[in-house]
Amino acid sequence: MAHTYSSNIIHCVFSTKERCSLIPADRTTELYAYLGGIARGEGFTLIAAGGTANHIHLLFVLPASHSLAHAVQKLKGSSSRWMGDGFSWQEGYGAFSVSASQVPVVKRYIQNQEEHHRKRDFEQEFVALLRNCGIAYDERYVFG
């Protein structure tokens, strides 16, 4: 797309199905590398990946030619198959726009997930992200 310029930096968060601890610590480095490969193959850039045994945070740059839903579908679908039998991600996700000036802050936050979750669990973190971004939600349905 000639003469098209955009800055679509996304902080995406999703959990394992029913927030079960399905991501073994010894596979996280490989999982993050695999997600980076999916992003490259789909034409976008993964800046950071992090999480815990039951959820993941991704920070990526999405070109104007790509839809968010398609990018997340590719990331979740391919990585779920790669993780193997018995593994699946939750149905939905959270996606939050990030200004270029905040990329280092969000990247640091994503890389320090283990530390953050000593203070609060995934559910508390996710609701805080929704609130901070002014996203309306129904507590009965936010976690499926």
Tell me the pLDDT tens digit for each residue of 81-130. Answer: 999 999 999 999 999 999 999 999 999 999 999 888 888 999 999 999 99
Task: Check: CB of residue 39 under 8 Å from CB of residue 60.
Answer: yes
**Domain-located, residue 106:** yes
pLDDT higher at 22 or 4: 22
Quickly state the pLDDT bin for 141 (edges 50, 70, 90): confident
Give residue-wise pLDDT tens across range 17-27.
999 999 999 99
Which structure tokens are listed for 130?
Answer: 């929704």
Both tokens of 31, joined, read 């999982």
The sheet with strand 55-61 has its strands ordered as 45-52, 55-61, 9-15, 94-97
Whole-number pLDDT of residue 1: 60
pLDDT at 3: 83
pLDDT tens column, 15-51: 999 999 999 999 999 999 999 999 999 999 999 999 9
pLDDT above 90: residue 143:
no
Residue range(s) defining the domain that contains residue 25: 9-132
CA-wise closest residue to 56 among 48, 68, 64: 48
Q: pLDDT at position 144, please?
A: 67
The answer to the question of residue 137 being in a domain is: no
Please state the φ and ψ torsions of residue 44, each to the nearest 5 degrees.
-130, 175
Would 49 be classed as within a structural domain? yes
Q: What is the CATH number of the domain that holds 111?
A: 3.30.70.1290
| Cβ 114 vs Cβ 52: under 8 Å | yes
State pLDDT tens for residues 61-73. Answer: 999 999 999 999 9
Do the domain assignments include residue 138? no
20-59 b/e with 16+ CB inside 10 Å = b?
eebbeeeebeebbebbbebbeebebebbbbbbbbbbbbbb
Q: Could you tell me if residue 141 is inside a domain?
A: no
Q: What is the pLDDT at residue 2? A: 73
Give how many domains the chain has, as a whole number.
Answer: 1
